Amino acid sequence: MDEILTSEADSVRAHCSLEPEVRWQEAMRRAIRDPGELCRKLDLPESLADGRSAQDFTVFVPLEFLARMRPGDPDDPLLRQVLSVEAENDTPDTYSLDPLAEQNASVLPGLLHKYHGRALLVTSGACAVHCRYCFRRHFPYQTVPKGLQAWQEALDHIAADPTISEVLLSGGDPLTLVDPLLQSLLGALDRIPHVRRLRIHTRLPIVIPQRVTEALRDMLAATRATSWVVVHCNHAAELDGPTLGALARLIDAGVPVLNQAVLLRGVNDSVAALEALSLRLVDHRIQPYYLHQLDRVQGAGHFEVDEATGLQLMAGLRQRVPGYAVPQYVREQPGERSKTPIEPRPMP
Ligand SMILES: *Cc1c(COP(=O)(O)O)cnc(C)c1O
Ligand code: SF4
């Protein structure tokens, strides 16, 4: 597996010569938004891309992420996560626009409070990559408050409820906020005495690792509340040198980092792929947290791995890696008070 990763990285580095360091905002600005261009850059036929689904949910791929894909491979596990394809138009009708019924769980625009002790703030509608399987691909981000003024109602709600001891910043991706805005939001939450933990759910350090600047690291390390970072990475090839470096900067500063992944057909649906991901994470001090069953969102049907197969993969993984490298295999069920563990049915 390591051999594959090394040769993969080498071939790609040679293929797309990247400048050493572009500021993260510039990396966002120059990201690929045209599915045909994405194919061309990887020496693949443009016919692989589908225009209709790309209108429904646009393609957005930073060059830093592209650089980890294998040119000429239409089945590359990273490409599969981001390229709009024909199959998206064939998702069964049972797949919904809002599979988690989040519109009902919103206490306020942009604030979800479903689980005991934890409130989730949708801080930004923007992401640094568009993942085709995303359960929020149809989320009405236009209704998300923007700026501290707009968050005031959510902040008041959190301040008035002493049972909320943890606030999750999610999105979109909260790290798409510029530092001064993020700082004022973190500061406002940090001043609420019963908020003991801040949790940042982000894919940015994975796709554009230079987002983890010293300033960001210091900001997260300096909060009174304990800051946790949960990144989202589905395949070992996403964890290249710059990304592992970015995560090490956080961990070295005392910020714990967890990873969540989604079980995706053609991306990580083998014991070998899950094993490589888990080991690469724990080798670099990152704890695998969740492996999510795909949420049934319109456009993502071709990514589904059935739960029986998922359980077999988990059993295989458990035989190969240390216990602390095994993520919890869960699904999210609307109305439940926690994520639901997916476990083998007891023998009859
Ligand atoms: C997933 C989720 C959380 C966090 O759940 P954990 O099991 O603590 O990771 C909190 N709020 C909402 C709305 C969620 O969807
Ligand atoms: S980064 Fe997260 S929220 Fe954004 S598209 Fe990907 S999975 Fe969805």
Does one domain contain both 186 and 43?
no
Assess whether pLDDT exceeds 80 at residue 117.
Answer: yes
- β partners of residue 259: 231, 288
Domain span at residue 76? 2-89
| Those residues with Cβ within 8 angstroms of residue 339's Cβ, 6 or more apart along the chain or in another chain | 290, 328, 330, 331, 332
Does one domain contain both 128 and 254?
yes
Copy the structure tokens of residue 40. 């061309």
At 9 the pLDDT is 44
Does one domain contain both 84 and 123?
no
Residue 13 near residue 5, CB atoms below 8 Å:
no
CA angle 117, 120, 121 (to 5 degrees): 140
Which of 45, 60, 89 is where one domain is finished? Answer: 89
Look at ligand 2, atom 3, and give the residue with the nearest C-alpha: 172
What CATH number did the domain enclosing 271 receive?
Answer: 3.20.20.70
Residues with CB under 6 A from ligand 2: 127, 129-131, 134, 136, 171-173, 203, 232
Does one domain contain both 51 and 183?
no
Does one domain contain both 44 and 118?
no
Does one domain contain both 170 and 245?
yes
Does one domain contain both 19 and 134?
no
Does one domain contain both 64 and 206?
no
Which of 37, 56, 89 is where one domain is finished? Answer: 89
At 141 the pLDDT is 65
Q: From 129, 200, 208, 231, give the residue whose CB has the most ligand 2 atoms within 8 Å, as the site to mutate.
A: 129
Q: Distance from the CA of 3 to the center of ligand 2, in angstroms?
A: 29
Does one domain contain both 139 and 79?
no
Segment 64-74 shows an average pLDDT of 98
Which of 62, 89, 116 is where one domain is finished? Answer: 89
Does one domain contain both 84 and 124?
no
What is the identity of the amino acid at 89? N
As a whole number of angstroms, the distance between CA 158 and CA 284 comes to: 34
**Atom of ligand 2 at shortest range from CA of 262:** 7
Give domain status of residue 348, yes or no. no
Assess whether pLDDT exceeds 90 at residue 106.
Answer: no
Give residue 27's pLDDT band: very low, low, confident or very high (50, 70, 90).
Answer: very high
Mean confidence (pLDDT) of the chain: 91
Does one domain contain both 202 and 328?
yes
Assess whether pLDDT exceeds 80 at residue 325.
Answer: yes
Does one domain contain both 54 and 111?
no
Assess whether pLDDT exceeds 60 at residue 1.
Answer: no
Closest listed ligand to the CA of 238: 2
Number of domains in the chain: 2
Give domain status of residue 97, yes or no. no
Place of tokens 């002790």: 117
